Chain A
Amino acid sequence: MSDSSILACAGYLPLLRFDRGIARKDLRWSGLGAGGTGLRAVAGWDEDALTMAVEAARGLGAVASSRITFATTSAPFIDRSQAGMVAEALGLPPSLSTIDSAGSRRAGTAALVRALDSRATELIAAGEKRLAQPGSAHHLAWGDGAAAVLVGQGPGLARLLGQATVNVDLLDVVTTTARGLPYAAEDRFVRDEAVEAVYVPAIRQALSAAGLTGAAVTCAILPEPVSGTYRALARPCGLACPNLAEEIAAKAGDLGAALPLFGLTLALERASTGDVILLAGFGNGADVLLLEVTAPQISRTATDALMQGAPLTSYSRFLSLTGALALDWGPRAEVNQKVSASTLARHGRAMHGFIGGRDAAGNVQFPQTPVPVRPDATGPEPMQPVRLADEPAHLLSVTADRLNFTPDPPFVFGLVQFDNGARVAMELCDTETAPAVGAALRMRFRIKTIDRQRQFPTYFWKAAPVSRPPLNAEKP
């Protein structure tokens, strides 16, 4: 076993929370959605697995990793290196080793197992925004979100005590590329098989590898394919601790490949040194890791993400945001927004990394231009790259536009003034109501535009309020 450990971790959830009870009420006529309780985190129209993974990774602070893994089962691209885009969005060099881990909800834990077994410093960013059909259990049970973990040499937050993997082609839920939506097996069958054929053997092997009994485990993060799974396996495995995955599922939803890493972040935020965490990934088998907490996690990204947000109270808006309802937005939505590969080749890195320039006199601007915007500039000047993604800024002017098309009106945009002098016309996000002139802002990596004819998203940054409102999880 290598000396690698968990060096840092962070979680991210989108702003909106949908009370599943709203769907239950709306679907009462149909008899569907009966199991809906708790809250579901709902991504903005301009968020996907990639953008949320980037936001989670930003929660790690400055990292110096040599490898990046992007883990998801809901990748926006089948043939495009999204790990490479994560690197661009984080302003990391283009020379990093990058890989996209997909094909199973274990994409996150599988990457973590391999990273802990290597001597490299690796950033694993997992994000998930999965489509499901309204009326299905998964449409309400799943949630959107992301988490990121940095693995590397030396002491960190947690070290690996033991690990086991069991591969079983159990189709509790399966999504084919041809159908694009999940298809679920019977709950009772899934629970029995998940417990007996997958989890119990995997957990026992991991405990054995770590030289521990279940009683030593202080916290579990064990994704449940159906509720009651953990309750059924706890006794045979000797586990008596709470399962954080259940809490996350109730407050945000099953985050798929990102759930274990989000749960790990939450567990480390609550843990004390010496605690033992059982971390599991589930999907056509299971990965089980036993980790010893070696230092307290200072930041509270997962805790904050669960406690902050805004209620989404409309079922039809929920359907629209989850891709389940195609509204007729009228002719104003027909604008051609095709982007050519050559334009992206020239400008993509500056857009994804939000890289402006500092001119010869020190003024910062975005985007870079041959002749600087500085009034006394007399001709072309060389510019030094300046990343704006992490710069503080405030709002100079703003409006909530209800005329031009946006998939989730209104379209809030304005002029943003950065403290370092740069000024950029930007779209705003994470705003249920437009902030006031002068409001402090932070930057978020988002989808800029979706070319609706070719279903091609472009990515840029949007300005968001610095903090989110507290969310009363009991009464959304």
Chain B
Amino acid sequence: MASGIKDKVVILGMGCSRFGERWDMASDMLMVEAVEEALADAGIRRDQIGAAWLGSALDDVNVGNSAIPLATALRLPPIPVTRVENMCATGTEALRAAVYAVAAGAEDVALAVGVEKLKDTGFGGLPIRTKGSVNDLWMPYGSAPGTFAQLAGAYAARHGLNGADLKRAMAHVSWKSHQNGALAEKAHLRKPVDMDTILKAPMVADPLGLFDCCGVSDGAAAAIVCTPDMARALGASDLVAVKSVQVCASNGWELQYGEWDGSYMRNTRIAAARAYDEAGITAADIGLSEVHDCFSITELVTMEDLGFSNEGRALFDVLDGRYDRAGAQPSQIDGGLKCFGHPVGASGLRMAYEVYTQLKGRAGARQLGNLEFGLTHNLGGQPSNSVAAVSILGRL
């Protein structure tokens, strides 16, 4: 019987590059920036790392295939190094692999790195990719905003909501994140944006306007994990433990089977339920969430999928400020994907970096009080065909 990973692994150190249009930085430089910070934080040398995982989603514009680019960039000793990819959950997958290796007793110290160099595509938005030679014969070639925009209409239809009310709540989601992002030194977009500007922005994919969409940027983040005993032996204290890392992937049910109404993400709900169960907590215990706010509507719907809002109530909770900085359950305290942008392979680890930083009490102007548990959430693919990842970090 599996006993889970709760408290079997702690985070010894983390690092995060500055996110943005890093025209002067290649992928290897971004990885080094993040990992050097993590090594310094952990107080170890790279030859103490037993195994490493590289998360990188878009090999055609990023580091290329395999994990060799990580081993090469860091000049790692000859250890197992593996590349993982699971769309926007890629960064969390790298963390999960490193955490599981330590929890399994296979390694004392493991490294997870996520990186993406999106701004070398030469155009805005995410790269346009094939969906596979057979799927391309029939699947729509929609953009990411196009696929997520459809949540809005389906959500409004399910709950009998007015489109204008929903649009205002979506704007509040973005407004709140821009307020928070102004305090995040490593964020890409650091200017507050007023509600009127958000509401009047040009349409990207109906009803998502420009400010309903997250930024696109370059970045890297890294985590060094180990056993609690190893951390203590290295002199670490005030430890941040991994309570759970859960992943759930679509099997075609949403896309092909006639049950789902398009208004929520079942994968998020399943991954969250497993994570709360493994961590032994409930949604109400989460003091900070870093969720996958690729688009404003995604964050709004995710507040219900994670159990923070009751079904059909997220619109009202958002407008009431529940997820604002001063609210009951702040979300995106660093500005989220909205302000950091979304270098796909790095985002999950960037979220963990903020939760870790907050739990360590190092968040400066962004610091929240009385934080016991923080949650990260990724949603890869599109609502109708997705990978969800939920991880919970907390004090040991």
Q: Is A469 an interface residue (CB 8 A)?
A: no
Nearest residue in A to B203 (C-beta to C-beta)? A402
- Segment of B148-156, B187-195, B282-290, B357-365 in the binding face: B148-156
Contact with A along B94-126 (1 / 0, CB 8 A): 000000000000000000000000000111010
Residues of B within 8 A of A375 (CB): 253, 257
Residues of B within 8 A of A365 (CB): 256-257
Report whether B146 and A399 are in contact in the complex, using a CB–CB cutoff of 8 Å.
yes
Instruction: Provide the bound-state CA to CA distance between A346 and B149, in Å.
Output: 33
Contact flag A402-B138 (CB < 8 Å), given A365-B256, A373-B252: no
Q: Is A95 an interface residue (CB 8 A)?
A: no
Q: Is A378 an interface residue (CB 8 A)?
A: no
Q: Is B2 an interface residue (CB 8 A)?
A: no
Report whether B206 and A434 are in contact in the complex, using a CB–CB cutoff of 8 Å.
yes
Report whether B153 and A339 are in contact in the complex, using a CB–CB cutoff of 8 Å.
no
Report whether B128 and A449 are in contact in the complex, using a CB–CB cutoff of 8 Å.
no
Report whether A460 and B258 are in contact in the complex, using a CB–CB cutoff of 8 Å.
no
Report whether A374 and B153 are in contact in the complex, using a CB–CB cutoff of 8 Å.
no
Nearest residue in B to A427 (C-beta to C-beta)? B140
Closest chain-A Cβ to B95's Cβ sits at a distance in Å of 30
Of residues 407 to 450 in A, which have CB atoms within 8 Å of B's CB atoms? Answer: 410-411, 413-415, 417-418, 421-427, 434, 436-438, 448-449
Instruction: Provide the bound-state CA to CA distance between A410 and B145, in Å.
Output: 13
Report whether B146 and A401 are in contact in the complex, using a CB–CB cutoff of 8 Å.
yes
Report whether A398 and B141 are in contact in the complex, using a CB–CB cutoff of 8 Å.
no
Q: Is B133 an interface residue (CB 8 A)?
A: yes
Which of A374, A404, A415, A436 has a CB less than 8 Å from the CB of B143? A404
Report whether B256 and A373 are in contact in the complex, using a CB–CB cutoff of 8 Å.
yes
Residues of B within 8 A of A332 (CB): 123, 125, 128
Residues of A within 8 A of B384 (CB): 397, 415, 425
Closest chain-B Cβ to A387's Cβ sits at a distance in Å of 14
Nearest residue in B to A406 (C-beta to C-beta)? B141
Residues of A within 8 A of B205 (CB): 399-403, 410
Instruction: Provide the bound-state CA to CA distance between A405 and B257, in Å.
Output: 28
Residues of B within 8 A of A425 (CB): 139-140, 255, 384-385
Q: Is A273 an interface residue (CB 8 A)?
A: no
Closest chain-B Cβ to A381's Cβ sits at a distance in Å of 14
Report whether B149 and A404 are in contact in the complex, using a CB–CB cutoff of 8 Å.
no
Closest chain-A Cβ to B32's Cβ sits at a distance in Å of 29
Which of B122, B153, B206 has a CB less than 8 Å from the CB of A331? B122
Residues of B within 8 A of A351 (CB): 137-138
Which of A401, A424, A438 has a CB less than 8 Å from the CB of B142? A401
Nearest residue in B to A354 (C-beta to C-beta)? B138
Closest chain-B Cβ to A352's Cβ sits at a distance in Å of 10
Contact with A along B144-166 (1 / 0, CB 8 A): 11110111011001000000000
Which of A331, A367, A374, A411 has a CB less than 8 Å from the CB of B141? A411
Which of B122, B151, B256 has a CB less than 8 Å from the CB of A397? B151
Q: Is B185 an interface residue (CB 8 A)?
A: no
Instruction: Provide the bound-state CA to CA distance between A330 and B137, in Å.
Output: 23
Nearest residue in A to B137 (C-beta to C-beta)? A351
Report whether A399 and B142 are in contact in the complex, using a CB–CB cutoff of 8 Å.
yes
Of residues 162 to 198 in A, which have CB atoms within 8 Å of B's CB atoms? Answer: none
Residues of A within 8 A of B154 (CB): 396-397, 437
Report whether B150 and A398 are in contact in the complex, using a CB–CB cutoff of 8 Å.
yes
Closest chain-A Cβ to B196's Cβ sits at a distance in Å of 21
Instruction: Provide the bound-state CA to CA distance between A402 and B203, in Å.
Output: 7
Q: Is B26 an interface residue (CB 8 A)?
A: no
User: Which of B122, B151, B255, B257 has the most CB atoms of chain A within a 10 A radius of its CB?
Assistant: B257
Q: Is B374 an interface residue (CB 8 A)?
A: no
Closest chain-A Cβ to B136's Cβ sits at a distance in Å of 7
Instruction: Provide the bound-state CA to CA distance between A233 and B197, in Å.
Output: 67
Q: Is A347 an interface residue (CB 8 A)?
A: yes
Report whether A405 and B128 are in contact in the complex, using a CB–CB cutoff of 8 Å.
yes
Report whether B262 and A397 are in contact in the complex, using a CB–CB cutoff of 8 Å.
yes
Q: Is B204 an interface residue (CB 8 A)?
A: yes
Residues of B within 8 A of A421 (CB): 258
Residues of B within 8 A of A426 (CB): 138, 140
Residues of B within 8 A of A453 (CB): none
Instruction: Provide the bound-state CA to CA distance between A404 and B385, in Å.
Output: 19
Q: Is B134 an interface residue (CB 8 A)?
A: yes
Instruction: Provide the bound-state CA to CA distance between A426 and B140, in Å.
Output: 6
Instruction: Provide the bound-state CA to CA distance between A337 and B255, in Å.
Output: 23
Instruction: Provide the bound-state CA to CA distance between A366 and B144, in Å.
Output: 22
Q: Is A458 an interface residue (CB 8 A)?
A: yes
Nearest residue in B to A333 (C-beta to C-beta)? B128
Q: Is B261 an interface residue (CB 8 A)?
A: yes
Which of B145, B151, B385 has a CB less than 8 Å from the CB of A403? B145
Residues of A within 8 A of B256 (CB): 365-366, 373, 422-424
Report whether B136 and A449 are in contact in the complex, using a CB–CB cutoff of 8 Å.
yes
Q: Is B251 an interface residue (CB 8 A)?
A: yes
Closest chain-B Cβ to A343's Cβ sits at a distance in Å of 5
A344-B137, A347-B134 are known contacts; what are 10 more A-B pairs with Cβ within 8 Å? A331-B121, A335-B130, A374-B257, A397-B150, A399-B150, A403-B125, A411-B146, A425-B140, A448-B138, A460-B137
What are 12 contact pairs spanning A and B, CB under 8 A? A331-B122, A335-B141, A373-B251, A374-B257, A375-B257, A397-B384, A399-B206, A411-B140, A423-B257, A425-B139, A425-B255, A426-B140
Q: Which residues of B approach A to under 8 Å, CB–CB?
A: 121-123, 125, 128-130, 133-134, 136-147, 149-151, 153-154, 157, 203-206, 208, 251-253, 255-258, 261-262, 384-385
Q: Which residues of A approach B to under 8 Å, CB–CB?
A: 330-332, 335-337, 339-340, 343-344, 346-347, 351, 363, 365-367, 369, 373-375, 396-406, 410-411, 413-415, 417-418, 421-427, 434, 436-438, 448-449, 458, 460
Top 6 closest pairs, chain A to chain B, by CB: A401-B146, A397-B150, A413-B140, A399-B149, A403-B143, A404-B143
